[in-house]
Structure 1
Amino acid sequence: MPENVNLLPNFIHNAIDDDLKNGKYADGIHTRFPPEPNGYLHIGHAKSICINFGTAQKYNGQCNLRFDDTNPTKEDVEYVDSIQEDVKWLGFTWDDRMFYASDYFDKLYDFAVELIKRGKAYVCDLTADEIRQYRGTLTEAGTESPYRGRSIEENIDLFERMKKGDFADGQKVLRAKIDMASPNITMRDPVIYRISHTRHHRTGDKWCIYPMYDFAHPLSDAIEKVTHSICTLEFEEHRPLYDWLLENLGFDSNSRPRQIEFARLNLTNMVMSKRKLRQLVESGCVSGWDDPRMPTISGFRRRGYTAESIRSFCELIGVAKSNSLVDIAMLEHCVREDLNKRADRIMAVLNPIKVIITNYPEGKCEYLSAENKPDSSAARYVPFSREIYIERSDFMESAPKKFFRLKPDGEVRLKYAYIIKCTDIVKDADGNIIQINCTYDPDSKRGGSTAGRKVKGTLHWVPLDGCLNAEVRLYDYLLNNDENAEQTDFMKELNPASLTVLQNCKIEPAAAWAAPGTKYQFLRQGYFCVDKDSAKGNLVFNRVVGLRDSWAKTVNKK
């Protein structure tokens, strides 16, 4: 498990400290991460993972991975596998403590029967729409169900028949009997079991009734002896039900789980809802859950984000009590900071134009030393010969005064190599420039007599012979709107330019054997990662993030 994860003081840890001072949880701190396997995890889940596993780490406790698989209509083994992969990739382990809510279906059923026996639950025949109507509003109390007064014996019999499959989906539900006049609508006799004749990916056809999340979650926590149920802020109004269930089923107040809520993560220009992410996948707006434009952990991993940068981001934003919108530039800053230390430097020309150095000897090839990382003594060697490629945008025929790249009769330095001067250009029949002719100063490379001669522009380049052809995918934000996508019709805000694919890009030979996932800094271009679509002779790179760090500059100005 990574060190120093989410160890900065926060209100969650303060609450745990108070519990320990008051003599609670003598057996140690125990947390859990309880995802529903109905989609891939996103960056918001990464924050929860870091908080739950990091909290357990801080207190030398344990953290379980538990799948909330109580809704088989939306769940799939694919999601179970992807969640495990994501948690491991972030650097965390649950050892032998991987559980499923479905592990406890028999116990949960028994707990429900116990509530009925205590007069705290009843079988209700109202439809879902009728239950909503009877529930009331924020300003008006609810109305009791006409089935609320059923005897304990009748409720036990009906619940048993629900289990046996005697009723159709939606025909009956089991509700907790609490208070239809409660100011908290969640407490107005919530549904705790519903009928669903759906095959479960683990239990098969054994069950046709399934517990609701609000029922299964606190009891699963209690079964696993979880001490602190750390969840996002939308569950704050559900906390009274969490506590009510544990209290009414006899769990000791000094050892039963305590729910603590924190603000969920909302990022600018990002969709942060599994339901909406699923809509993007199923509508074909993205290539899949791991599309590099997606805020899923698998999407970020494929794009080239590192686990270290995501953990650093989660610590940087901290743990808050109120929801807010975080600028995605903060995440990009963490990615740049991490990749700057670990990514090798190479040169890549994304929109190439050929340059011929006319006074360089034909047939000659020399290998020039180039740095791999700023703080590393290791070097790579780049072949240099008479013909090279530069970026088309680095040449301008009619250049303004302050254009310090290549222009007619102008000089620039080639990175790690020589100073060249443009002497001529070649155009096609349509007047497009297809070749630039230059001369070079043979004494201007490192160690030469004119190596110190100053020119204002330095260009990256790649050799024509031996360079690699590649496809480069440039990613922009998925949404045009930088506001919270939860507040807008997000499909209307999709950025049509969120992906630009460049073909026939030229990469220096050092990347020839790069495996998928390898990260580079393309000089002057940004950070790039070899995509899983790559194959020998068919390199594909994703742009991870550009070189410019607008967030860090903003912070430094302040």
Structure 2
Amino acid sequence: MSENVALNFVDRLVYEDKENRKIDKVVTRFPPEPNGYLHIGSAYAINISYGIAQKYGGQFNLRFDDTNPMKEDMEYVHAIMEDMAWLGCDYGKEAFFGSDYSKQIFDYAIDLINKGKAYVCDLSMEEMRTYRGTLTEAGKNSPYRDRSPEENLELFKEMQLGLIDEGVRVLRAKIDMESPNLILRDPVIYRVLKEKHYRTGNEWCIYPMYDFAHPIQDYIEGVTHSLCSNEFINHRPLYDWVLSALELKGILPRQIEFGRLNLTGVVTSKRYLKQLVDSGILDGWDDPRLPTIKGLRRRGVTKEAIFDFVNEIGVPKTSTTVDYKMLEHFVRQDLKEKVKCLMMVQNPLKVVITNLEETEYVDVDNHFSNPEFGSRKIPFSKELYIEREDFCEQPPKKFKRLSPGEEVRLRSAYFIKCNEVIKDDQGEVVELRCTYDVATKSGSGFNERKPKGTIHWLSALDATRCTVRLYEDLFLEEPSDDQLIESINMNSKNVYDNALVEGSILNFISQGEKRFQFIRNGYYVVDKLTSNEQLVMNQIVSLKSNF
């Protein structure tokens, strides 16, 4: 197969199909229902379908599966289109909408009735469940199954005209009530729903079921391969039945299932996500703790990291469970060579250098290993700030930072020694008085002695106040269906309003940079709440993984 060597089983099937069925152009699609926001699981499915279309020089469609007016909204349409654009998945000039095919789908239902392959049924939903049978017991035919095509057309017309209440009457496919696949036991293909549709208004009061509409929509769009997760594997016979029963011409779409992606530590169910957003505990659909694409974007996760993550998982045949923290590894891998390194003090402690007469300037590299990022000068002044946790008045045995009478290296600057500890009336340490050794300047070659450790710092002359937000897992354990909100980790968001960061960050941000590595802290991104008055930064990931 030379350059067309299959990368996975879906790829192989598409290649063989293209050769055997003489398909000129491979067409795939991603069909979200506009009743929620895209999430990391959506990116996994998108990547598979989009990747196949790209590999074979084909076409990739975005189609909104919007034939259920109950919870669909244009808000979700716009959000999904925006996320698709951010992900860089080109779906052509415009998206498709299932609701645009309402008349065609209705006409296909009429065709089935005329062919004697669909009938109007007056059984209640409870009666229908009783007639359906079980996995070990065959179903029974509905007493309405043998209505004539003429009677069915008349009754279906009444449904269309709004003369029938919801739940009173449905249109069912006439297949096989004894089929071992329960889905083929005369499934409902149309029902009455007297709800206003977000696009078509009140034009329709009957709507097709997903299993009937989906293969027709694929056929109308010329989709050649309908790729979906294996939760739909039992639905494939009905997908194929619809296409066959309608006696459609030309190249018919083929459904291929891949293993569903399950993620530990997060929820991706739209129902769960909506519950979380509606609870008011989170900041909305783009809360950085959520696995939504909008949440990941606000968290600072790059699309490159997302695709590296889903590509690493591959395309398995069976369902796969992956630890969500694996994504963090790819975030670090992507960012470590891309972003500038600055110093930030999250919980500042004041340091006064008592023997410094005039402010000096030291050179600091903008990246820990890549000289192409250049360098900057930062002031080494009489008043500095260090991280409060980098000082301990009575240090434990292996403490390698600053303590009374001990020496520590300030990164890219000098050795300093703590000589005096100043406390307030409550006994809290508020200031350290230190001396510096002028001979120990970083890069000078001084090696007569080595301090216990190296810490980062900021000059009071170059400190910009910043709100820093750190995030932990939203759930500490798998939440239950009835305890979702109660299962939220209330320490999943920690805010530090008095953090300080190098002033040069403002210049970098004005040049369009949004992500940075804060030395010893992690990777951070500018949050949307940042204003001229207040800089707000979200931690993307810590520097080291606990995965």
- Report if aligned partners of 1:368, 1:384 keep a CA contact under 8 Å in 2: no
Query: Aligned partners of 2:138 and 2:454: how far apart in 1?
Result: 73
TM superposition score normalised by structure 1: 0.93
1:263–1:321 contact (8 Å) kept in structure 2: yes
TM-score, structure 2 length as denominator? 0.95
Counterpart for residue 415 of structure 2: 419
Note closer, same or farther for the CA distance 1:511–1:330 as it changes in structure 2 (3 Å cut). same
Partner of 2:521: 525
Contact 1:443 1:451 in 2 (8 A): no
**Is residue 366 of structure 2 the alignment partner of residue 371 of structure 1?**
yes
Could you tell me whether the CA contact under 8 Å between 2:362 and 2:413 is conserved in 1? no
Shift in Å at residue 367 of structure 1? 4.7
SS in structure 1 at match of 2:461: coil
Partners of 1:410 and 1:397 in 2: how far apart?
Answer: 10
Distance 1:280 1:167 in 2: 37
Is 1:224 the counterpart of 2:221 in the alignment?
Answer: yes
SS at match of 1:341: coil
How far the C-alpha of 1:191 sits from its partner, in A, is 1.0
Corresponding residue for 1:162? 159
For 1:20, what is the secondary structure of its paired residue? Answer: helix
Q: CA deviation at 1:320?
A: 0.9
Deviations 1:430-481 (A, max 9, x none): 1111111110011211343636752231111111223111111111111111
Distance of aligned partners of 1:262 and 1:490 in 2 relative to their CA distance in 1, 3 Å threshold? farther
Report the equivalent of 2:281.
Answer: 285
* Paired positions, count: 541
Task: Summarize the alignment of residues 242-253 of structure 1 with structure 2, pairs less than 5 Å apart.
Answer: 242-252=239-249
Deviation at 1:315, TM superposition (A): 0.3
1:331-350 equivalent positions in 2, closer than 5 A: 331-350=327-346
Equivalence for 2:493: 499
CA distance in 2 between partners of 1:443 and 1:449 (Å): 9
Q: Which residue of 1 aligns with 2:31?
A: 34
Q: 2 CA distance for matches of 1:488 and 1:43? A: 24
Match of 1:466 among 442, 462, 475: 462
Q: Distance in 2 between matches of 1:487 and 1:74?
A: 20
Partner of 2:266: 270
CA–CA distance in 1 between the matches of 2:161 and 2:480? 40
Are the equivalent residues in 1 in contact too, given 2:363–2:375 (CA < 8 A)?
Answer: no
Q: Deviations over 1:35-89 (max 9, x none)?
A: 1000000100001111111110011111111000111110111100111111111
In structure 2, the residue matched to 1:537 is 533
Shift of 1:346: 0.8
Residue 233 of structure 1 deviates from its aligned partner by: 1.2
Q: How far apart, CA to CA, are the structure 2 residues paired with 1:203 and 1:375?
A: 56
Q: Distance in 2 between matches of 1:466 and 1:380?
A: 12
**1:137 paired residue among 120, 134, 138:** 134
Question: Which AA in structure 2 matches 1:104?
Answer: Y
For residue 388 of structure 1, the aligned residue among 359, 384, 388 is 384
Question: 1:448-459 residue pairs with structure 2 within 5 A?
Answer: 448=444, 450=446, 453-459=449-455
CA gap of 1:8–1:400, structure 2 versus 1, over 3 A, is farther
Question: Secondary structure, in 3 states, of the residue corresponding to 2:62?
Answer: strand
Contact 1:343/1:373 (8 A) holds in 2 = no
TM-fit CA distance, 1:543: 0.9
1:7–1:55 CA contact under 8 A, matched in 2: no
Give distance in 2, aligned partners of 1:295 and 1:531: 17
Contact 1:443–1:449 (CA under 8 A) maintained in structure 2: no
Rounded Cα–Cα distance in structure 2 between residues aligned with 1:309 and 1:267: 16
* Equivalent in the alignment of 1:555: none
Q: Corresponding residue for 1:299?
A: 295
- Asked if the contact 2:18/2:24 (under 8 Å) is kept, the reply is no
CA distance in 2, matches of 1:523, 1:289: 30
Report how far residue 498 of structure 1 moved. Answer: 1.0
The one-letter code matched in structure 1 to 2:496 is L
SS at match of 1:178: coil
Unaligned runs of 5+ in 2: none
**How far off its partner does 1:492 sit?**
4.1
Matches of 1:237 and 1:25, distance apart in 2: 27
Q: Secondary structure of the residue that 1:251 maps to in structure 2?
A: coil
- The 10-residue stretch of structure 1 (182-191 or 512-521) with the greater mean CA deviation from structure 2: 512-521
Which is worse superposed, 50-59 or 120-129? 120-129
| Structure 1 position 127, deviation (Å) | 2.3
- 1:342 is paired with a residue whose SS is coil
Change (3 A) 1:361 1:270: same
- Residues 379-418 of structure 1 show CA distances to partners (whole Å, capped at 9, x for unaligned) of 1222221111111110011112211100111111111111
Task: Give ranges in structure 1 of 5+ residues lacking alignment.
Answer: 1-5, 552-558
Whether the aligned pair in 1 keeps the contact of 2:465 and 2:535 (CA below 8 Å) is yes
**What residue number does 1:508 align with?**
502
Aligned position for 2:428: 432
Out of 77, 80, 95, the residue aligned to residue 98 of structure 1 is 95
Task: Provide the identity percentage.
Answer: 51
Q: Which residue of 2 aligns with 1:3?
A: none
Distance, in Å, in 1 between the alignment partners of 2:536 and 2:513 is 11
Report the residue type matching 1:541 in the other structure.
Answer: M
In structure 2, do the counterparts of structure 1 residues 248 and 517 end up closer, same or farther at CA, with 3 Å as the change threshold?
A: farther
SS at match of 1:439: strand
* Alpha-carbon separation, structure 1, partners of 2:401 and 2:455: 7
Q: Which residue identity does 1:372 align to in structure 2?
A: H
Q: Name the residue aligned to 2:145.
A: 148
Structure 2 residue aligned with 1:15, among 13, 16, 19? 13
**Do the aligned partners of residues 172 and 45 (structure 1) sit closer, same or farther apart at CA in structure 2, a change above 3 Å counting?**
same
SS in 1 for 2:277: helix
Instruction: Give SS of 2:371's match.
Output: coil
Match of 2:187? Answer: 190
**Amino acid corresponding to residue 339 of structure 1 in structure 2:** L
The 8 Å contact of residues 124 and 172 in structure 1, kept in 2 or not, is answered as yes
8 A Cα contact 1:304 1:517, kept in partner:
no
The alpha carbon displacement at 1:500 in A equals 1.1
Amino acid of the structure 2 residue aligned with 1:17: Y
Q: 1:235 to 1:169 in 2, by over 3 A?
A: same
- Is residue 543 of structure 2 the alignment partner of residue 547 of structure 1? yes
CA displacement 1:121-152 (0-9 Å, x = unmatched): 11112222332232222222222222212111
Does structure 2 retain, via aligned residues, the 8 Å contact 1:394–1:406? yes
Match of 2:37, SS state, is coil
